């Protein structure tokens, strides 16, 4: 089974650096930087509003926890928002491609 991770970054360079590290460690097969997102949030009782770069990471369900752990360790924020979910249905080619990760490819 495959999985997706969504995580915003302070800027495009940080998102690219994370993508390349995860690719180097064969924890993902692909990252899609979605572009600028406007974040509206509550933090320590205060309302905040900032612009970030949203990113989606494609991996296998077996590597999901490890990929999130690695992302959390290198993310520039102390409290990054890193959220992953399983994709119960993918195309055959996608399954084969992401399955390569589980074979260390």
By CB under 8 A, residue 74 contacts its own copies? no
We find the least distance from the C-beta atom of residue 82 to its own copies, in angstroms, to be 4
- How many Å apart are CA 40 and CA 38, to the nearest integer? 7
- How many Å apart are CA 82 and CA 57, to the nearest integer? 10
14, 76, 91, 104: which one contacts its own copies (CB under 8 A)?
91
Please say which residue, 85 or 102, places its beta carbon nearer to its own copies: 85
Burial 29-43 (b: 16+ CB within 10 A, else e): bebeeeeeeeeeeee
Q: Could you tell me the CA-to-CA distances from 97 to 21, 59, 75 in Å, in that order?
A: 19, 9, 26
Q: How many positions of this chain bind its own copies (CB under 8 A)?
A: 55
Tell me which residues touch its own copies (CB under 8 A): 2-4, 6, 8, 12, 16, 19-20, 23, 26, 29-42, 47, 52, 54, 56, 58, 64-65, 68-69, 71-72, 78-94, 96-97
């Amino acid at each position: 089974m495959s999985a997706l991770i969504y995580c915003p970054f302070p800027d495009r360079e940080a998102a690219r650096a994370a993508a390349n590290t995860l690719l180097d460690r064969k924890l993902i097969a692909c990252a899609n930087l979605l572009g600028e997102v406007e974040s509206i949030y509550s933090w320590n009782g205060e309302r905040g509003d900032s612009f970030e770069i949203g990113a989606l990471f494609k991996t296998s369900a077996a590597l999901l926890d490890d990929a999130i752990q690695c992302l959390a360790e290198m993310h520039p924020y102390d409290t990054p928002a890193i959220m992953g979910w399983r994709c119960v249905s993918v195309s055959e080619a996608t399954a084969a491609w992401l399955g390569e990760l589980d074979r260390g490819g």
